[in-house]
Structure 1
Amino acid sequence: MNHKTFQILPLLVLLAAPQVLWGQGRTELRNICHVKGQEENTLRGLGLVVGLNGTGAAGDLQTMRALSSAMEIMGSPVSTTGRADAESLEELKKIKNAAMVYVTATVPATGARRGDKLDCFVSAINGKSLKGGRLAFATLQGPNTQDHQVYALAQGQLVVDDDDQPMVARIHGGCQMQQDVQTEFEKDGFVTVVLDQNHADFVVAMAVGDQIKEMYRNQFFQPQAEQEDEWLASMVQVKNASNIRIKIPQLYQNDPVGFVSQLMEVQVYNVEPEARVVVNPRAESIVISGDVGVGDVIVTHRNLTIEANQGLTAEFRKIDPNSYAEGGSPSAKLDSLVQALGDLKVPAADIIEIIQGIERNGKLHGKLIIE
């Protein structure tokens, strides 16, 4: 029986080179984590858009109430009684140039101060299009639904970026902060670093914790203090797969910012997470880390069959389905299978389905991520 070894197809699959090589590479801590408390916050609220060219929400009760309230606040109530009753709202029923919208703005991780201006994004709740409209007003509250404090006000001319999505728009600098939003990163003398989702792993967390302990041992340990191991354990605590709690040393008690800046520059090793393969069915892309393995497997696709070949160097070959022998190489790599399928002109969408099938059968030695 003749076996054909398939060659690499360079453009089919992206082989993700490890960010750092285990035991050899290194990176700064700031590249794989952030400090707890230094996260973005979203402000949100409802607003009223006016100036639409007949594309608003005619006859919508909520829009009419919002418009009535706005007119009352500006000293021109639609009702002489000052109340938006059914009779007064009837006067606004034919207005087609206004719409209710949902408004959001993102406060950066470093916080924001009163008077700062942020971009805001507007999504229509009703109406047909926001083109040409202007946000008359919107009061924005914080992410905590129990906190009714107004943190920012928003207004300005809407810009619709996508003509196919006329119900979504933005306002450059349209949100002005009315309250300070500060992000505290120190609590009870400790800071916590949080590994990003692509590096959150128990092995990675322990490796990072050990490297931070090494920094403490070299720079802050005092021989007259407690036993070294006990002291380090109290100063650097790996809480779980993503959180590492670190005590600010005495030298930096009055300068926590200086300590964090130094901490973020620590060179860390062994930060490669588990083997992964990321597929995007819409874009038909496949990204494989070099260490994703495949167990004993036969892949049948239309008129061909692919199997893992035993040996020190695993190969995937086209075979006669009736001549398959038990066995295979647990060291076979997924990228070899993908390259072989690509050499056979198997469409990327079919390859993604094959990978999903291998994962469902428990033969994929890595984490499958579907975007």
Structure 2
Amino acid sequence: MTRTLLQKLIATALCTVLTLSPMADAYAAAARIKDIVNFEGVRDNQLVGYGLVVGLNGTGDSLNNSPFTKQSLQSMLERLGVNTAGENVRTANVAAVMVTANLPAFGTQGSRMDVSVAALGDSNSLQGGTLLVTPLLAADGDVYAIAQGPVLINGFSAGGDAASIVSGVPTTGRIANGGLIEREIDFHLGSQTSLRLALRNPDLTTARRIALAVNDFIGAPTATPEDPATVRVTLPPGFNGNIVDLLTDIEQLMVETDQTAKIVIDENSGIIVMGKDVRVSSVAVAQSNLTVTIAENPNVVQPLPFANGQTAVEPNTTLNANISDTALAVVNESVTLQQLVDGLNALGISPRDLIAILQAIKATGALQAEIEVL
């Protein structure tokens, strides 16, 4: 292969890469509709209940310190025909717990779901325990599921008279398929003629693009953006199917999402996340670091031979202060995110100093982005 032919092939490959790169970037910014919206009515419902875990190996609640556990135990025994009125019940094998679960969307009666268990009293561990029948209630106060079964925990605790060890959190656990659905949510998706799509990240541009993509696919004005967080989809006349068929067809459509320019800062960990649309006007930035070094080198002083003295320790402290200044660095107008990061990194700025600089740039009005501090 000649040198000229090799150069032509390299040039052709570079042209191909440069031509396809914008298309690849545009496609990478797109997402399926089902990944950026929630369909109205298709949601989980949170359930909660109060129950007792029995069978613990002496790691349960202290009945004297947990009166609710004692009352619950006595009430349960009375319902089972055991009269404990006036008796001093002593046991360390019972623990009061809170049981939580998420009722899945369209969960049918008789289906099972996972439940989580957490100790409510002063129990040390739920290892080896079994949850007794516990009704799970929704926000409306009605019972939608029943939970029962052996509790599986991720941690453990063990100890003796002088030492103990705890790994993980032994006071929380999970029961796989421990919840039995007894009541269904009264919502029939297939009978709906209109449905709302709720954007997980509300944005006017994204909402309009979703509506345009749906209308172009159906060929009729089916979707209408109502606000930055909502797009209403109506079953078109003559559509061969119900709303479920329509949602199945449109949830795979690709839409290029948009977002506001935002900088998220976590001051506790020093994490900074910037959006791709962050822009900065012309501004000059300088940074000064003050480093203080303190070293302790105590001196031991010995008394002279045959002298009536004692060995003493004299403190000896070395203190140094170093101030390092950087010259003013000019950030040009309308720089991109990559240029902004490269410029600030060139100044040798730490993440925590960068947080203060970004907030100062925002205060001058030169930062066209929203700063959100966690």
Matched, 1:251 2:243: no
Q: CA deviation at 1:242?
A: 0.9
Alpha carbons 1:252, 1:258 under 8 Å: kept:
no
Change (3 A) 1:359 1:118: farther
State the match for 2:79 in structure 1: 73
State the match for 1:156 in structure 2: 149
Matched, 1:116 2:111: yes
Q: CA deviation at 1:155?
A: 1.7
Q: CA deviation at 1:262?
A: 0.8
Change (3 A) 1:280 1:108: farther
Q: Secondary structure at the match of 1:72?
A: helix
Q: How does 1:61-210 map to 2 (within 5 A)?
A: 61-79=67-85, 87-88=86-87, 91-92=88-89, 94-109=90-105, 111-132=106-127, 133-142=129-138, 144=139, 147-162=140-155, 163-181=167-185, 183-185=187-189, 189-197=193-201, 200-210=202-212
CA distance in 2, matches of 1:214, 1:160: 51
Alpha carbons 2:286, 2:327 under 8 Å: kept:
no
Q: CA deviation at 1:73?
A: 2.2
State the match for 1:367 in structure 2: 370
Quick one: which of 288, 295, 298 aligns to 1:302? 288
CA distance in 1, matches of 2:196, 2:289: 56
Change (3 A) 1:69 1:299: farther
Q: Secondary structure at the match of 1:239?
A: strand
Change (3 A) 1:100 1:24: closer
CA deviations on 1:24-64 (whole Å, 9 max, x unpaired) are 96433222112111112111111112223333222222111
Q: CA deviation at 1:264?
A: 1.2
Q: CA deviation at 1:141?
A: 0.9
Q: CA deviation at 1:22?
A: 6.5
Question: Hey, which of these two has a bigger chunk of strand by percent?
Answer: 2
Q: How does 1:301-320 map to 2 (within 5 A)?
A: 301-303=287-289, 320=327
CA distance in 1, matches of 2:120, 2:371: 37
Which residue identity is paired with 2:40? K
State the match for 1:34 in structure 2: 38
Change (3 A) 1:74 1:193: same
State the match for 2:60 in structure 1: 56
Q: Secondary structure at the match of 2:258?
A: coil
CA distance in 2, matches of 1:366, 1:65: 57
Change (3 A) 1:20 1:121: farther
Query: Structure 1: where are the runs of 5+ without partners?
Result: 1-17, 80-86, 222-231, 305-317
Q: CA deviation at 1:96?
A: 2.4
Matched, 1:339 2:342: yes
Alpha carbons 2:203, 2:229 under 8 Å: kept:
yes
CA distance in 2, matches of 1:273, 1:50: 51
Quick one: which of 290, 313, 319 aligns to 2:276? 290
After TM superposition, the structure 1 stretch with the greater mean CA deviation from structure 2, 58-67 or 165-174, is 165-174
Calculate the TM-score normalised by the size of structure 2: 0.71
Change (3 A) 1:360 1:36: farther
Change (3 A) 1:99 1:343: farther
CA distance in 2, matches of 1:69, 1:154: 19
Query: Structure 2: where are the runs of 5+ without partners?
Result: 1-21, 156-166, 291-324
CA deviations on 1:268-302 (whole Å, 9 max, x unpaired) are 34x22122333445554433333211234444432
Q: Secondary structure at the match of 2:211?
A: helix
Calculate the TM-score normalised by the size of structure 1: 0.71
Alpha carbons 1:20, 1:26 under 8 Å: kept:
no
CA distance in 2, matches of 1:194, 1:252: 23
Change (3 A) 1:98 1:360: farther
Alpha carbons 1:201, 1:242 under 8 Å: kept:
yes
Bigger relative contact order (CA 8 A; separation at least 6): 1
Which residue identity is paired with 1:291? D
Q: What is the aligned-residue identity percentage?
A: 26
Change (3 A) 1:178 1:188: closer
CA distance in 1, matches of 2:265, 2:205: 24
Q: CA deviation at 1:207?
A: 2.1
CA distance in 2, matches of 1:149, 1:278: 40
Q: Secondary structure at the match of 2:277?
A: coil
Q: Secondary structure at the match of 2:74?
A: helix
State the match for 1:44 in structure 2: 48
Change (3 A) 1:100 1:300: farther
State the match for 1:212 in structure 2: 214
- Counting matched residue pairs gives 306
Change (3 A) 1:303 1:284: closer
State the match for 2:308 in structure 1: none
Alpha carbons 2:145, 2:182 under 8 Å: kept:
yes
CA deviations on 1:186-244 (whole Å, 9 max, x unpaired) are 676201111113xx11122122222223234x2xx4xxxxxxxxxx3xx4332211111
CA deviations on 1:285-320 (whole Å, 9 max, x unpaired) are 43333321123444443249xxxxxxxxxxxxx963
